[in-house]
Structure 1
Amino acid sequence: MKCALVTGGSRGIGKAICLKLASENKYHILVNYQSNEVAALETVKEIEALNGTAEILKFDVSNQEEVQTALSNWKEKNPDAIMETIVNNAGITRDGLFMWMHPNDWKSVIDTSLNGFYNVTNFFIQDMLRKKYGRIINMVSVSGVKGTAGQTNYSAAKGALVAVTKALAQEVAKRKITVNAVAPGFIKTDMTADLDEKELIKMIPANRFGEAEEVANLVSFLASDKSSYITGEIININGGIYS
């Protein structure tokens, strides 16, 4: 059984990625979630409606012990499963100006995006190296590439993931494992629902917000054999706002 794990896979971009990897890449999907079980189960239901297979997996990516326990238990129950693709999508925002930023707003954002990447990817990396195949896709952000005022914590976390992507790609390329990052701009999701879309699209050459499915199309390509000579890349998907 060839599998793909999508962290934060129950809603928004994560959910769109789960659906796409199930239908186009024919993976058995592990839908990771932290608290919203109803949304995670709904994602599984939609995957099954597309004739795909999926299951939910609860853990907080920032909690190493929780990640180890959940993934070890899953591996024990599924000894024949092969984890081919990891999409590190889980992320949170705690926006605010740096001078007033609470220590926990700094720590929690970095723990989720950056340490979450380490906890999940490090668990599977030796298996991928042994199998001589893997796809690691890190969801970053335009904030991590250019920096965004009011998001020093989020920019720091995603910027660090950009650097991790480039470094790890060089370590594992000989074993046919690619490591790439996808940097979305403004995408229509719960995370951007409160933004002033009319005002913001004036900054976007494409004159609109992106759709979660458009990001999922790119991830699906990077998870496929078509992308086997692309590694260490940060691919912007932002309607031309920053390229």
Structure 2
Amino acid sequence: MYFFLSQLSVLDILLVTDILPNIICTALTKKTAMSFSNCLAQFYFFVITESSECFLLTVMSWDRYLAICKPLHYPLKMNHQVCWILVILCWILSVFGALVFTVTISMLQFCGPDIIDHFFCDFNPILQLSCSDTTAAQFEGTFLSVLVIVIPFFIIIVSYAYIISTIFKIPSITGRQKVFSTCSSHLTVVCIYYGTLVCVYLIPNRGKTKDITKLISLLYTVVTPMINPLIYSLRNKELKKSVGKLIQNFLDRHLIKKI
């Protein structure tokens, strides 16, 4: 589990590094000039990190399934070599899919306006600037969404269906809580991450304003990577004690000032 968490941290760092500098520059200057090649490069690495994170969260759900539902087989089926193979496979699929997708977009013609009404170079904002036929790119976008979002999300749901079924078979309430606590953090991240991705890429654009889309995009590109360490640290007893002391000290100072 901690091996996969380290890989998730790497992906979060890469995603924030790819997106956040441009967002900060846009917020400070109100507009940012970027060449077409730089825009494609940002989009390429964005697709890689987003796809890898979707695949990695799926692998982590399978890891939790083996740990809870097949505990005796867990050391054999999820050894260090298997972990590395799964992570490398996530990267290979993401790099290949992003490369094909980016090449298709680079072959489009852009002869109209050159202003993207977004924080970064995303799929739909780029296609809206094209003056050529975008049917092939839209088809690849739909296919990639199914491959990266729908299928992994379905696998996660099936994994947690078996996990919840196994947890309910545990006789003691304390045992249920202890077992569920090992996957509660992952389940929270999955709900936040996939919820925002579905809203942006799978729900039709009709009825959605650009401001809402941009706000949701901020959630999975900036907010989620920032809160992931906090979510996965909630089970740490030392962290809980430290946070409790900080809150208590704040309340004590606040009460003393009022008195």
TM superposition score normalised by structure 1 = 0.30
Higher helix share: 2
Higher strand share: 1
Query: Computing the radius of gyration over CA atoms, which structure comes out larger, 1 or 2?
Result: 2
Higher relative contact order (CA 8 A, sep 6+): 2
